């Protein structure tokens, strides 16, 4: 028989129905008449998959025969979002599936809603990884995305008495049709123990690691389809399994808990995603997770992906491991261990190879977000890796001494090992030293990364540093999420913008076309109504049909300043209830928030509580005649984003300048025709440069101004005293009227703002309010607003993740 893949089912309604019923009968083991919605969803997912598998197998075979360099994307997070729609889009099966389900008496929309999205990430960094693998498949670039198959993803957020409560995300509980487990391809990963160094006959030192315990990594494969190009890449996520299920002797003696103790311990490694996103916790389990998935991935590539007799001296020709932040950086000493201890390479040769095989992306500017591991912990869990890190450091510091004779302070500053009461390994330094390139994720952040975070390194190796501005996939976030706008765009400029987003430029002339503007407005209105239907069904929220939709969705963090948004809302409410402005004279706004707080982040949770409290009070106050309303649907995730983003009029990107590395939500909103109110931060800077000052509402301190203010001794109280509106707003927020008369309930946040305000919300309040007044004025002229919105779409094609991928290819991977 033929060796190639068998043909997929026919690309027709009949072919689809037939394949679907087969999956239902033979896959789920049920008759259509007896099937549950979940049966139907699982069968549908497997049916759509059948159309992709041939392309996947062919892509795999093609990659194995060729000798192109493969991108090994190493990421602890992939925030994928739902798979069904994406697969339907990639296969152009949307309409066929719709009709096929109708013929079976089923509703495709209902089956879609059955899918629980794989929330294997926290926010921006994880979603970026998902966009990148989408783009690489669409560009037909060989890529394996490596990561962890967490049994529980990011927690599901609920509100109890206006406060956040977390529920485990058991996304696998109803079956997971998108994955292909390969238990037979298990990889053994070792931990703990000690090392032994011996000298061989030639007088060469050889170190062996004698570990204390181990676990198995089981790979689960997921398809990553390119957009209608037949190319399908692989995402390979690792799940931890105990080497021994239980101790039979202990079990027989009756101590059942003890019998499975070591199994539970091992399998905890891939149990749950850490929900912190910028406060690294020096938790042992987290380091276990990192080493676990990186060790599995390097082993998988070297032993199972490369040809049998591959000459590892040529490794850099076949692989580049891209380090998505510092989380996989332990891969650097791991590759050294493989080459030196297992494959017998000399240190220097192994080091030259290793450095060529890694590149590092830094996603932050917050010093507290840079990972460091206590030497004690790292040495206990990975003793051989610690030795290797020490040797890397010794050699590197010799290089520094040679380049800067007599500069002991510099040597101390640049050491991978931070001295102090608790010696610690600085993972960002290890990544910078052990990789061929270092990049930031937006122009401003890359500049600050060079100048402030890693200044000594960029002085030593200026050419190692580069910028690659983030991007988002236009497939999911425009074509799929906003079908009405997609159709309108395609009618105007043809369909190829989906894979060549700069073509959106062709829309510019339409901004001056009254007929087009009307259609554009109708799309926006329809998207709002779609969102409101969703929020009614999902959260029981009732929202007015006609109001400006003002949106702030992102992780809850003080630096992102949801508080500033809250102060704006309270100030408008104050205008109304004090009688300064009548409801009829105010530009009506609906504020939408979406935000999860890390479970241990106290202040973030206080902010959530106050947003909910303020929202409830405003929504219930009849005096304001519905001029303002606040919606905070719980559990913001990718699925909800796909409804929120296309509906927004105004995008809030209001971080303190110098704190948001890039942002990617900002790009999604602009591409969907929202106008941005934002600070000069992250990728906002580039958005504004592209759309033009007239189509962007800028406010706030610049990064150097914020630095200066801090250096001069920032005093939030001074702003409180000198600005009457700010005083009234904060007093109202602290008065207790939003918290059932209990002023103490708002005190933690209000006091923090008055006495500390680490992210300078009070300093930017006046400027923010003025910018919001400009927003109101602009919104009153709906033609001019729509014109700006169209120009935002037309001018932000740069933010396609396809472009980001080309930049990585040019500046990092094939440079």
Structure tokens that stand for 542 in this block: 């009732």
660 binds ligand 26Y (CB under 6 A): yes
Distance CA 238, CA 183 (A): 10
Interface with ligand 26Y by CB under 6 A: which range of 202-210, 537-545, 625-633, 662-670?
Answer: 662-670
Q: Alpha carbon 804 to chain centroid distance?
A: 15
- Cβ count near 58 (within 10 Å): 15
678 binds ligand 26Y (CB under 6 A): no
**Residue 237 pairs with which residues in a beta bridge?**
147, 220
682 binds ligand 26Y (CB under 6 A): yes
Q: What is the 3-state secondary structure (H, E, C) of 116-182?
A: CCCEECCCHHHHHHHHHHHHHHHCCCCEEEEEECCCECCCEEEEECCEEEEECCCCCCCCCCCEEEC
124 binds ligand 26Y (CB under 6 A): yes
Evaluate whether 166 touches 159 at the Cβ level (below 8 Å).
Answer: no
Evaluate whether 13 touches 99 at the Cβ level (below 8 Å).
Answer: yes
Bridge-based pairing state of the strands 163-167 and 194-199: unpaired
Distance CA 678, CA 684 (A): 7
280 binds ligand 26Y (CB under 6 A): yes
619-658 mask for ligand 26Y (x: CB under 6 A)?
----------------------------------------
328 binds ligand 26Y (CB under 6 A): no
Q: Which of 40, 393, 470, 796: binder of ligand 26Y (CB under 6 A)? A: 470
Distance CA 546, CA 178 (A): 40
597 binds ligand 26Y (CB under 6 A): no
The CA-based diameter of the chain, rounded to the nearest angstrom, is 92
Beta strand segments in 291-422, E: 319-324, 358-361, 372-374, 417-418
Distance CA 4, CA 74 (A): 30
| Residue in the block written with tokens 């930031």 | 440
Distance CA 328, CA 148 (A): 11
Closest CA to 596 of 632, 544, 542: 632
Q: Could you give the 3-state DSSP secondary structure of residue 79?
A: strand
Give residues 422-441 in contact with ligand 26Y (rule: CB under 6 A).
441
What angle do helix axes 84-91 and 94-103 make, rounded to 10 degrees? 110
Nearest distance in Å: CB 660, ligand 26Y: 5
Active-site residue, selected from the candidate residues 236, 327, 450, 560? 560
145 binds ligand 26Y (CB under 6 A): no
Residues in the interface with ligand 26Y (CB under 6 A) total 20
Active site annotation includes 554: yes
Active site annotation includes 755: no
b vs e for 744-764, b when ≥16 Cβ sit within 10 Å of the residue's Cβ? ebbebbbebbbeebebbbbbb
Nearest distance in Å: CB 654, ligand 26Y: 13
Interface with ligand 26Y by CB under 6 A: which range of 9-17, 60-68, 120-128, 570-578?
Answer: 120-128
Q: Which of 138, 278, 590, 672: binder of ligand 26Y (CB under 6 A)? A: 278
Nearest distance in Å: CB 804, ligand 26Y: 10
Q: Which is nearer to ligand 26Y, 276 or 352 (CB)?
A: 276
Active site annotation includes 605: no
147 binds ligand 26Y (CB under 6 A): no
Q: Which of 276, 387, 456, 715: binder of ligand 26Y (CB under 6 A)? A: 276
Active-site residue, selected from the candidate residues 156, 286, 668, 803? 668
Q: Which of 287, 315, 507, 661: binder of ligand 26Y (CB under 6 A)? A: 661
122 binds ligand 26Y (CB under 6 A): yes
125 binds ligand 26Y (CB under 6 A): yes
Active site annotation includes 283: no
Active site annotation includes 546: no
Active site annotation includes 361: no
Active-site residue, selected from the candidate residues 149, 286, 327, 555? 555
Distance CA 724, CA 730 (A): 10
Give residues 354-383 in contact with ligand 26Y (rule: CB under 6 A).
363, 369, 371
Nearest distance in Å: CB 439, ligand 26Y: 10
Q: Which is nearer to ligand 26Y, 363 or 787 (CB)?
A: 363
Q: Which residues bind ligand 26Y (CB under 6 A)?
A: 122-125, 128, 276-278, 280, 363, 369, 371, 441, 470, 660-664, 682
Residues forming the active site: 363, 554-555, 560, 664, 668
């Amino acid at each position: 028989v033929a060796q190639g893949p068998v043909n997929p089912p026919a690309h027709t309604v009949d072919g689809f129905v037939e394949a679907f019923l087969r999956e239902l009968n033979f896959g789920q083991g049920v008759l259509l008449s007896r099937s549950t919605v979940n049966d139907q969803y699982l069968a549908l997912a497997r049916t759509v998959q059948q159309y992709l598998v041939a392309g996947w197998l062919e892509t795999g075979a093609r990659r194995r025969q060729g000798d192109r360099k493969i991108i090994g994307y190493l990421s602890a997070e992939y925030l994928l979002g739902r798979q069904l729609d994406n697969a339907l889009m990639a296969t152009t099966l949307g309409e066929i599936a719709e009709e096929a389900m109708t013929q079976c008496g089923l509703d495709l929309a209902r089956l879609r809603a059955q899918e629980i999205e794989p929330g294997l990430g926290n926010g921006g960094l994880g979603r970026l990884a998902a966009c990148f693998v989408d783009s690489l498949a669409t560009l037909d670039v060989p890529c394996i995305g490596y990561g962890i198959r967490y049994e529980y993803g990011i927690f599901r957020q609920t509100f109890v008495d206006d406060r956040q409560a977390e529920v485990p995300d058991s996304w696998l509980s109803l079956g997971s049709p998108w994955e292909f487990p390969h238990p037979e391809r298990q990889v053994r990963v070792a931990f703990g123990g000690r090392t032994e160094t011996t000298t061989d006959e030639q007088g060469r030192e050889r170190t062996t690691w004698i570990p204390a315990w181990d676990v198995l990594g089981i790979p689960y494969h997921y398809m990553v389809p390119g957009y209608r190009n037949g190319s399908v890449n692989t995402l390979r996520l690792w799940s931890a399994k105990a080497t021994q299920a239980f101790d039979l002797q202990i079990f027989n003696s009756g101590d059942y808990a003890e019998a499975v103790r070591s199994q539970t311990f091992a399998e905890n490694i891939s149990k749950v995603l850490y929900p912190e996103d910028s406060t690294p916790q020096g938790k042992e389990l987290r380091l276990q997770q990192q080493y676990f998935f990186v060790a599995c991935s390097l082993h998988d590539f070297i032993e199972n992906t490369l040809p049998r007799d591959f000459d590892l001296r040529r490794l850099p020709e076949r692989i580049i491991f891209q380090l998505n932040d510092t989380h996989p950086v332990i891969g650097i000493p791991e590759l050294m261990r493989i080459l030196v201890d297992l494959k017998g390479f000399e240190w220097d040769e192994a080091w030259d190879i290793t450095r060529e095989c890694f590149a590092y992306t830094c996603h932050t500017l917050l010093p507290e977000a840079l990972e460091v591991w206590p030497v004690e912990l790292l040495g206990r869990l990975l003793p051989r890796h610690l030795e290797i890190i020490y040797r890397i450091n010794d050699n590197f510091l010799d290089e520094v001494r040679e380049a800067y004779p007599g500069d002991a302070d510099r040597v101390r500053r640049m050491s991978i090992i931070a001295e102090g009461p608790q010696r610690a390994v600085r993972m960002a330094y290890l990544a910078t030293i052990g990789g061929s390139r270092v990049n930031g994720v937006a122009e401003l952040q890359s500049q600050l990364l060079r100048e402030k975070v890693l200044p000594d390194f960029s002085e030593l190796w200026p050419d190692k540093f580069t910028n690659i501005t983030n991007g988002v996939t236009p497939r999911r976030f425009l074509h799929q999420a906003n079908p009405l706008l997609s159709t309108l765009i395609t009618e105007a400029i043809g369909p190829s913008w989906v894979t060549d987003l700069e073509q959106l430029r062709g829309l510019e002339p339409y901004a001056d076309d009254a007929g087009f503007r009307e259609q554009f407005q109708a799309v926006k209105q329809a998207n709002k109504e779609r969102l409101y239907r969703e929020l009614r069904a999902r959260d029981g929220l009732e929202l007015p049909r006609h109001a400006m939709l003002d949106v702030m969705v992102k992780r809850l963090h003080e630096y992102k300043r949801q508080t500033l948004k809250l102060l704006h809302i309270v100030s408008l409410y104050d205008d109304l209830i004090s009688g300064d402005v009548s409801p009829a004279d105010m530009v009506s706004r609906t504020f939408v928030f979406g935000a999860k707080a890390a479970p241990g982040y106290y202040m973030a949770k206080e902010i959530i509580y106050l947003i909910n409290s303020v929202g409830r009070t405003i929504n219930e106050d009849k005096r304001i005649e519905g001029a303002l309303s606040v919606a905070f649907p719980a559990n913001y995730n990718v699925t909800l984003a796909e409804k929120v983003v296309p509906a927004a009029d105004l995008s809030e990107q209001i971080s303190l300048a110098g704190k948001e590395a890039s942002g990617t939500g900002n790009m999604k909103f602009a591409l969907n025709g929202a106008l941005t109110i934002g600070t000069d931060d992250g990728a906002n800077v580039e958005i504004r440069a592209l759309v033009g000052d007239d189509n962007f509402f800028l406010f706030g301190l610049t990064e150097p101004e914020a630095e200066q203010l801090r250096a001069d001794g920032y005093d939030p109280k001074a702003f409180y005293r000198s600005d009457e509106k700010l005083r009234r707003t904060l007093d109202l927020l602290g008065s207790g009227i939003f918290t059932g008369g209990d002023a103490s309930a708002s005190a933690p946040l209000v006091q923090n703002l008055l006495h500390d305000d680490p992210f300078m919300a009070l300093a930017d309040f006046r400027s923010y309010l003025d910018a919001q007044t400009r927003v109101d004025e602009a919104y009153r002229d709906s033609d001019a607003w729509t014109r700006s919105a169209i120009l935002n779409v037309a001018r932000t094609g740069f933010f396609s993740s396809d472009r980001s991928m080309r930049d990585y290819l040019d500046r990092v991977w094939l440079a």
